[in-house]
Amino acid sequence: MLAVYFDCPGGPENLYVKEMMKPEPGEGEVLVKVSASALNRADIVQRRGKYPPPKGASDILGLEAAGSVAGLGPGCKGRWKIGDAVMALLSGGGQAEYVTVPEGYLMPIPNDLTFIQAAAIPEAWLTAFQLLHFVGKIQKGERVLIHAGASGVGVAAIQLVRLAKAVPIVTAGTQEKLKAAANAGAAAGFNYKSEDFSEKVLEFTQGAGVDIILDCVGGSYWEKNLSCLSTDGRWIVYGLLGGGEVHGDLFARLLSKRGSIHTSLLRSRDKEASSGYQQCERLVKAFTEDVLPYFSRGASPHLETLIDSIYPLHEIAEAHRLMEENKNIGKIVIKMPA
């Protein structure tokens, strides 16, 4: 099979498409013929040599994929049959023509979605769903601040907050991205480059602040995040685009608001650890039951993926460059050879 590969960490120019052995499904695994995958920040960081895959995972890039069932390993429980259209959350290996997946990580593709559309769902939407429901315990009417509001996770989070009958507020770095977030359902959006988002959030919430913050930025935002966090608010850190260092009296500020910090990395769950597998399987099951039906045509409310661009597998380096330039609005999808 063909797969994305790099021999040593570095820039996008180190990426190339290599012929590799097609994987064989192990106990309880399904072999998927991949039609489309998608790019995530984790792929960029892994390519730079700073985010190794968890124990037991493929070292091929790609944390999500959509395609069809091509084989069943021993011990599969009959949930899937050859030819089923599926999408999957992966710990690695999605940017290849075939990938093996624990059967509990697979989700059916809604009838109205193409493989391209489906490939944009697993990582972003499961991340947002986990952060909001499993970690943040979102409640009806709460206010949620979503950083990087036009990213894949951001656009998913906006719609999931609306689905929970709560209020999504976003930050983004351009007016074009703020417009995309508004189109996805954001109640308000602020340009972090040209205005103080904490002041704007407090103004929008009439001084109350936000109940949940979904933060992929980290260190450089800590003071502004705490300024607009409500009493008893939950600050959820799932990325460190702004660094991991904090200079200042974070704990005193947090304590004064009875706030809490939560951290989450969806990918860090060890494939070989039963607890990690069960948690991920529980997440996939809940998402499949509670959210996936809203992607079907005619559903109300209707959920939609936002795709920025589509690149063929052989142009993977260009896809990485686009993401590194932070220009994409929505997901960058990688299409496999026909």
Does residue 124 have a pLDDT over 70? Answer: yes
pLDDT digits (tens, 9 = 90+) for 33-42: 999 999 999 9
Residue that wins the pLDDT comparison between 311 and 275: 311
- Collapsing DSSP to helix, strand or coil, 221 comes out as helix
Instruction: Reply yes or no on whether the pLDDT at 116 is more than 60.
Output: yes
Is residue 104 over pLDDT 80?
yes
- Would you say residue 95 has pLDDT above 90? yes
Averaged pLDDT score across all residues of the chain: 93
268 has pLDDT over 80: no
Per-residue pLDDT, averaged over 283-303, amounts to 95
Q: Which residue has the higher pLDDT, 59 or 220?
A: 59
Asked if residue 251 has pLDDT above 90, the reply is no
d(CA 58, CA 64): 12
187's tokens: 């109640």
pLDDT higher than threshold 70 for residue 269: no
Residue whose entry in the numeric block shows the structure tokens 């920040």? 41
Query: What is the arithmetic mean of pLDDT over 131-146?
Result: 98
CATH 3.40.720.10 for the 125-263 domain, yes or no:
no
Structure-derived torsion over alpha carbons of residues 268, 273, 278, 283, reported in degrees to the nearest 10: 10
Q: What is the percent of the chain where pLDDT is above 90?
A: 83
Interval 267-289 mean pLDDT? 76
What is the number of other CB atoms lying within 10 angstroms of the CB of residue 337? 10
48-62 pLDDT, tens digit each: 999 888 888 899 999
d(CA 107, CA 80): 10
Q: Where in 110-218 does DSSP place strands (E)? A: 143-146, 167-172, 188-191, 210-215
- Cα(40)–Cα(193) distance, rounded to whole angstroms? 23
Assess whether pLDDT exceeds 60 at residue 245: yes
Residue 106 bridge partners (DSSP): 88
Model confidence at 319, pLDDT cuts 50, 70, 90, reads very high
Structure tokens at 302: 């209707």
More confident residue, 25 or 223: 25
Residue of 82, 100, 78 whose CA lies nearest to 91: 100
Residue 266 has pLDDT above 80, yes or no: no
Per-residue model confidence (pLDDT) at position 217: 86
pLDDT greater than 90 at residue 221: no
- Given this model, what pLDDT does residue 56 score? 84
Please give the average per-residue pLDDT across 169-180, as a whole number: 97
Which range is least confidently modeled, 140-144, 161-165, 265-269, 311-315?
265-269
The pLDDT tens digits of the residues spanning 178-219 come to 999 999 999 999 999 999 999 999 999 999 999 999 999 877
Given a contact cutoff of 8 angstroms between Cβ atoms, the answer to whether 211 and 234 are in contact is yes
Q: Which of 165, 172, 168 is nearest to 156 (CA)?
A: 168
pLDDT of residue 327: 87
